A and B are shown apart, each in its own frame.
Chain A
Amino acid sequence: MTDPLALDPILAPTDPGARPWNDDLPHDERFELFESHVLAGGKIEPNDWMPDEYRTAVLRFVEMHANSELMGVLPEREWIMRAPTLRRKLALTAKVQDEVGHAQLLYRVAEDLGKPREAMFDDLLAGKTKFHNVFHYPTKTWADIGIIAWLVDAAAIVAQQALRDSSYGPYARTMQKICWEESVHIMHGRDVVVTLMTGTDTQRAMVQEALDRWWGPLMQMHGPRSDRTKDRDLHWRIKAKTSEELRQEFLTIYVPRILELGLVIPDRELAFDEATGEWRYADPDWAELRTVVTNHGPMSEERLEFRRLNRAATAWVRDAILSEPRSAA
């Protein structure tokens, strides 16, 4: 029985929403409170106090993601006018618009962490910040568009789904929206590939040739194996899975779906090891990954130059938005 007149604090102080590190405390004390909140699965919001290390780590992660969304539309954009039917043109246009939209959402998250958008564009175009390896390669045939939308997006979504639980609240919420939209892209890409695989021998060979070229970059995409205990982003729960966990997950879901179409995966060592419960595969070319992401890939410079020209050509729009409206008289 409770006494309705009781005014003493009689309930246990269990308030998961409490944010004691926001109080004015010595740095070490704050840091400790902040960290125990994050390690217990708590979320961080933009107005919270956060250690510089955390802010920088989230910003770096989100900025790289935003850059990749922005640069990632360029290979696909090249095929809008060459898509084989009106419906494919519309779907591809919508996908490109989605990805630019994702870049917008992610740059917003990054901006709120303290780096202005213009500074992020400056750094991207100057080669100071990076974008994902897969967007540094040329698209040679229509089958590339199918492979990118299906498998590149699939590899990305494996990572992105794990980010829906990121400790940084605005990023986690943004990823929920992005994942919802990405699921359509995968269907679009798989439909392009499956359609080609029911076509002529030439069309089937075209898909196989595209897969042969894209498999290496796909296996490199999540990055080399890393030490879980040394990964700051994992420690802060900015991301939830290691690169190897993501790659394994991707292989488990997509290898059967690739093989059932009669495609051959260009890796003779690829096999599921029942003993370890893991996929074995030929060691990806990490030297290629390093070369490519430092903007020495086959299309790096051309795509960055496109962005530079594009930025200059659209400057008048940004100026117009910020200028005084002209008088009607």
Chain B
Amino acid sequence: MTENGDRMIDEGDPNVGAPEPEGGSSGDAPGAARSGTLEAWEVFRQEKDGDPMRHGGNVMAPDRELALHYAREMFSRRGESVRLWVVRRADIGVLDDLDLLQPPLDRSFKKPGGYVMRDKLAAARDRAGTSKPRARE
């Protein structure tokens, strides 16, 4: 196995995530008994260095190690990824309540476009006597 291969099951890697506490139900720490059931793992892939991780799809696997092997087969068979993440679907938190995400309030003050000052700036320049001469009409 390559260095990357070893990392597949390196539970100490902060990028991979800490092992579940004692009594946790993850069942995929090295040496632990496998849970014996397949579950869905969501796969994220980075196409080239510096790109964001994007959702690619998902695979069924009994543990993280096999999820990564399957992810490699499914999402970088043509060498189209430089990094893969697998995340147990059950571990993903979802927020899709638009009342919270896109409340129907005027939030224009949070955006650059919310500040329209052309006229005010012209007035300020007039007052300061720094207005640029107008183009001939």
Specify which chain A residues have a CB less than 8 angstroms from the CB of B33 in the assembled complex.
324-325
Interface string of B31-73 (1 = CB under 8 A from A): 1011011101000000000000000111110100010000001
Chain B residue with minimal CB distance to A47?
B94
Assess whether A321 is interfacial by the CB under 8 Å rule: yes
Chain A residue with minimal CB distance to B59?
A108
> A105, B74: Cβ atoms under 8 Å?
yes
Interface string of B94-114 (1 = CB under 8 A from A): 101010001111101100001
Assess whether A273 is interfacial by the CB under 8 Å rule: no
Assess whether A101 is interfacial by the CB under 8 Å rule: yes
Assess whether A119 is interfacial by the CB under 8 Å rule: no
Q: Give the A-B contact count at a CB cut-off of 8 A.
A: 70
Chain B residue with minimal CB distance to A11?
B104
Give the contact-size bracket for chain B.
20 to 34
Residues of A within 8 A of B (CB): 1-4, 6-11, 13, 15, 17-19, 47, 97-98, 101, 104-105, 108, 111-112, 117, 173-174, 177, 181, 321-325
Q: A108-B57, A173-B57 are in contact. List 12 more A-B contacts (CB 8 A).
A: A1-B116, A11-B104, A11-B105, A11-B106, A17-B96, A47-B94, A101-B74, A108-B40, A108-B58, A108-B60, A321-B62, A322-B62
Residues of B within 8 A of A (CB): 31, 33-34, 36-38, 40, 56-60, 62, 66, 73-74, 77-78, 94, 96, 98, 102-106, 108-109, 114, 116
10 contacts between A and B (CB under 8 A): A2-B109, A3-B106, A11-B105, A15-B98, A47-B94, A97-B77, A112-B40, A173-B57, A322-B62, A324-B34
